[in-house]
Structure 1
Amino acid sequence: MNRSQFASLIACTSLMFTPLAAIAQVAPPLGTADSFAVLGNSGVTGSTLLGTQVSGDVGSSPTASISNFPPSTVAPPFTLHLTNNAQVQQARTDAIAAAGFIAAQGPGTVLPAQLDSQVLTSGIYSFSGGAADLAAGGSLTLNGPGVFIFQVDSALTTNILSNTVGTADPCSVFWRVGSTATLNSISFLGNVIADGGVTVGDGSNITGRAIAGTGPTGAVTMAGDGGNTIGGCSTASETPASISPIPTVGTAAIVALVSLLLGGGLFGLRRRKVQG
């Protein structure tokens, strides 16, 4: 068990033994998934023509199917992972743990399924009927500091021309989705962690992450011709420590070494002559 898995286990265990009334919303530890803005299970498809600009790592595990990159792009210093490497595998494991960590925090305040014109502060929220739907042209306002947790037990849909706005830190907003997420907002705040697939509509902009397939399968699909963005919360992975250069010997040391060798050689020659 690595450190990120151990941290997730400890956090979940602490929640289990905390009285329900005392539980406050807590951001899930993301571990290796922290560097990712887009993470799939059965693949990632970028948008075409104008492409999608992603500020964060992009990868998919166990199916490393990445398409339409380019014209979609990953901004430096982040990485487009074209293989199911160890980092992507660990990111998926940590994303699954994060989804479980969020689910363990309970339903909190129950909202109507239809979101439009609500103004919310930090807290835990769930939805009557399990699904959440932001109306076309509608607006959801998230204001103030702290962590926002949204428990969407089935599907999340944000319709065309909708917006999520406000003073909340998008990186502290988490949407746990029990099935699929379809994001068609002009702007959307938060990290979507879905059991199923995540579809990002044409011209939609996500400040956060699109993580799909914490269930058995799920892809991230950036639909349409693009011109949109995803990211803003990812932290670039630490680069391996640079290899220290081989120590060099200074000129004075070389001169001293040569003098020592020459002196030893002359001493040896003189000794031979005396013995002869």
Structure 2
Amino acid sequence: MGTVLAVGCALLAVPAGASAAPVNLATASPFVVLGGSAVTNTGPSVLNGELGVWPGTALTGFGIATLNGAVHANDAVAQQAQADLTNAYGVAAGQPLTSDLSGTDLGGLLLTPGAYRFTSSAQLTGTLTLDAQNNPDAQFVFQIGSALTTASVSRVNLVGAATPCNVYWQIGTSATLGTGTAFQGNLMAAASISLNNAATVQGRLLASSGQISLINNVIDASMCPGTSSAPPEPPVTPEPPVTPLPPTGLTAPGSAPGSPTAPGAGGTRTVTRNGTAVWTRTPPRAVSGQPACAAGFTATIRGRQIERVVYRLDGRVVRGASKSPFRLFVRGLPGRHKVTARVTFKDATPARTLTLGYRACASVALRPTYGPARFTG
């Protein structure tokens, strides 16, 4: 019989069966991204955990990414992690079956702890809900014979004390996450993993033999034991006052000798503090039949002289950007939340932190808090 959640989405409940056993990632646990042949990145992705590759050596495109963890390129640490991944993959594949979901779209299902099998490929369109029934140790294992694919703006929703740390996707070939997908759990693919633009993962991406491809994604396992947490934002050191150099008699037209705006040729230091930064944001709206609370909204930082923006959602780094447009897509999550943007400037303007609060309704509306952004130095 169907079950209706507070967000207004009808779900098909699958009867509970035997509970799945824990899957131990061992030394692969610190990694949020571990590839076999290579790992590539396009755009300002954020990795809250370690990055590695073995037996390949290529880690490309991470110059503009935010890496909150160690990097292991074809070293002994990555090699051992791959060995432990192979063991964990086998444990997941050997779990006693709770239910065979072959031919069923994961979207719209409400699943309780257990092991679920797809003899070939699996598809997620819409929202999959995993209910741990108030047991934070409950395990979910998905045994997928070939490929896993998610449609754009699909999501995995965890309720009843479920945690992404205890969700395992054992995939026979490859996984592809669609644009804007909000995924949860540990993806363990025998071949490759590809994420489209703005897809996010609360969990890990672990590929045994193939390549992992990222495009402007956030991969976060900092909530899981064994994973390095994102380091706190370093404090901003106040800039010392600018002391004009002794005047030489040469000044710019309209400038007094020793003025802080006089050119360097005039014997003074040129200092500008013209940086500005303000929030703009789109109103929430439904996308592809999803309610507004599932669609979220886009927040953008606009201004002058902006050098870099680091976004945090409820205190956790979710994106870094070093060139315009400085945008962040915010998913519709239940309850009250706070998005902050730490903005640094190309000139001498002091760094600023902008704060935006929003509240997602329990039904279908996402209501960002409108009003002026708050600045803190």
TM-score where L is the length of structure 1: 0.70
The Cα of 1:231 is off from its aligned counterpart by: 1.8
Per the alignment, residue 218 of structure 2 pairs with 229
The answer to whether structure 1 residue 150 and structure 2 residue 142 are counterparts is: yes
The reply on whether 1:79 has 2:67 as its aligned counterpart is: no
Deviations 1:64-106 (A, max 9, x none): 210111212211xx2022x311100000000011000111114
Asked if structure 2 preserves the Cα contact closer than 8 Å seen for 1:107 and 1:151, the reply is no
1:7-86 correspondence to structure 2 within 5 Å: 24-48=19-43, 51-75=44-68, 78-81=69-72, 83-86=73-76
Whichever residue aligns with residue 52 of structure 2, its letter is G
Structure 2: how far apart are the matches of 1:162 and 1:64? 32
Is 1:93 aligned with 2:83?
yes
Distance in 1 between the 2:54 and 2:39 partners? 10
Q: Structure 1, residues 164-218: CA drift from partner, whole Å, max 9, x if none?
A: 11222111000000000001253111000000100011100100000012xxx21
Q: How many residues align?
A: 202
CA distance in 2, matches of 1:104, 1:23: 13
Distance 1:69 1:175 in 2: 26
1:183 aligns with 2:183: no
Match of 1:207 in 2: 202
C-alpha separation between the residues in 2 aligned to 1:212 and 1:36?
Answer: 11
Q: What are the ranges of 5 or more consecutive residues in structure 1 without an aligned counterpart?
A: 1-21, 238-276
Residue 164 of structure 1 corresponds to: 156
Shift of 1:39: 0.3
Aligned partners of 1:39 and 1:212 also within 8 Å: yes
Structure 2 residue identity aligned to 1:110 = D
Which 5+ residue runs of structure 2 have no aligned equivalent? 1-16, 229-377
Seq. identity, %: 34
- Name which structure has the greater RCO, CA cutoff 8 Å, separation 6+: 1
Distance 1:212 1:234, change over 3 A: farther
Q: Which structure has greater helix proportion? A: 1
SS state of the match for residue 207, structure 1? Answer: strand
Deviation at residue 23 of structure 1 after TM alignment: 6.6
1:169 and 1:198 mapped to 2: Cα distance?
A: 22
Any idea what SS the aligned residue of 1:99 has? helix
Once the two structures are superposed, residues 110-166 of structure 1 have per-residue CA deviations (whole angstroms, 9 ceiling, x without a partner) of 114322211111111012x4211012xx11111123100000111000111111112
How far, CA to CA, are the matches of 2:113 and 2:18 in structure 1?
13
Higher strand share: 2
